[in-house]
Amino acid sequence: MKIKNRRFLLLLPVSLLIAGCNSPVSAKDASVALSKAYTQMLDTVVDGITLDQTLKGTIDIKNFEDGSETATNSIYIDGEESFSFKGVDLLGDAPQASLSITGKGSATVDTSETSVDEEINAYYSEGVIYGDVSKAISIQQLEPALEANPKFKVQAGLLKDFMGVEGEVTVRDLMETMGEMELPTAEEMSSSAEEFFGGFSGFSATTVSGGTKISLKVNNDTITDYIVSMYTKDIDMSSIPSYVSFDIDALREEAAAMVDAYGSFDLTLYVVLTGDTLSEISFNADLDLAIPDSSGKVYTAEDVASVFEGVKIKANIEFSIKLDMNATPTITLPTDLDTYTMIQDN
């Protein structure tokens, strides 16, 4: 058989690639992939890393008494922040690193408003930490030495000397040394994740190019489903005698009313696994909540609109973090490091 339309052959690899993406992944397979990524992260030798994180959003907090907003205890925040870190040979003999933090936004407490637009940069090379807070006025104001020398340097020993370690060091070594904690095994991680994923209606997972994307959607419906599942997970419906009344629909309605009384939840968490490594986490939240005061009174949705006493919160938040623990980034140092002022000499 001859294929007359040769353009079809050119499109075939693309079609196969698309067909291989976005295929459903079971809770069990997603749990196994997550546990493999967990193990891979713990056993990664601390050497090179890149980490990029962003956060932005608005938060509006208001205090209410007898259904009316009070003149005090209100907070409104609107801002964004970014964090970027690169490091190579971190526990070797010639470590280098760079760090950049930026923040921009405003905050209003009652009628008092403050704003910020700042940037901090830091570098490590040849046993010296360099810091640049020339665009971070609030940091300068915390320390007179920084206000006088916004571009400064500090002598520092090697990280491995500080940690008291020799040879290759893994993330597991560092966590166990610093926290003196017993970390869960991959099997324990997989089992716990599978139990949660399997019982949570907001769970989904799909294949993506080179890995797996796990999604958790938390809203009023999925929270209600989870509450019901926790109540009924150990109940064998077929073993309940006919004379015993068990109305699961009534249970669901009661759970939904309880959740809805606190407002509207809409959160989505994404975890991206590239191969056997954790490469990205992102989080989006859109909340409209009513939290009762310490009296412990339970309000219905209708009460919240009329006689509510407590705090109402509206928030829209976007967060993401991208991580590569097997990176070998190039650290670009400023060309004017010789002009930085030594403020501490060990």
User: In tens digits, what is the pLDDT along the chain, a chain of 346 residues?
Assistant: 444 444 434 444 444 444 445 689 999 999 999 999 988 888 888 788 999 999 999 999 998 887 788 878 899 999 999 999 999 988 778 889 999 999 999 999 988 999 999 999 999 998 899 999 999 988 888 888 888 889 999 888 766 666 566 667 787 777 776 665 677 888 988 999 998 898 889 999 999 887 899 999 999 999 999 888 887 776 666 666 665 556 778 889 988 988 888 889 999 999 999 888 889 999 999 999 888 876 556 666 666 666 778 888 999 999 999 999 888 999 999 999 999 999 865 4
Cα separations (Å) of 308 from 75, 224, 263?
18, 23, 12
Task: Supply the pLDDT for residue 180.
Answer: 59
Task: Supply the pLDDT for residue 20.
Answer: 46
Task: Supply the pLDDT for residue 115.
Answer: 92
**What are the residue ranges of helices labelled H in 70-124?**
none
Task: Supply the pLDDT for residue 219.
Answer: 94
Judging by beta carbons within 10 Å of its beta carbon (0-12, 13-18, 19+), is residue 341 exposed, middle or buried? exposed
Task: Supply the pLDDT for residue 9.
Answer: 40
pLDDT in tens, 306-336: 677 888 899 999 999 999 988 899 999 999 9
Task: Supply the pLDDT for residue 273.
Answer: 92
341: DSSP letter: E
- Name the E strands within the chain: 49-65, 68-69, 75-88, 96-109, 112-125, 128-135, 151-155, 203-208, 211-219, 263-264, 266-274, 277-292, 310-324, 341-344
Task: Supply the pLDDT for residue 343.
Answer: 81
Judging by beta carbons within 10 Å of its beta carbon (0-12, 13-18, 19+), is residue 12 exposed, middle or buried? exposed
Amino acid identity for residue 182 in this structure = E
pTM above 0.85, yes or no: no
Instruction: Give the other-Cβ count within 10 Å of 124's Cβ.
Output: 21
Cα gap 176→182, rounded to integer Å? 7
Task: Supply the pLDDT for residue 178.
Answer: 62
Task: Supply the pLDDT for residue 250.
Answer: 85
239: DSSP letter: G
Amino acid identity for residue 292 in this structure = P
Per-domain residue ranges for the chain?
A: 23-344
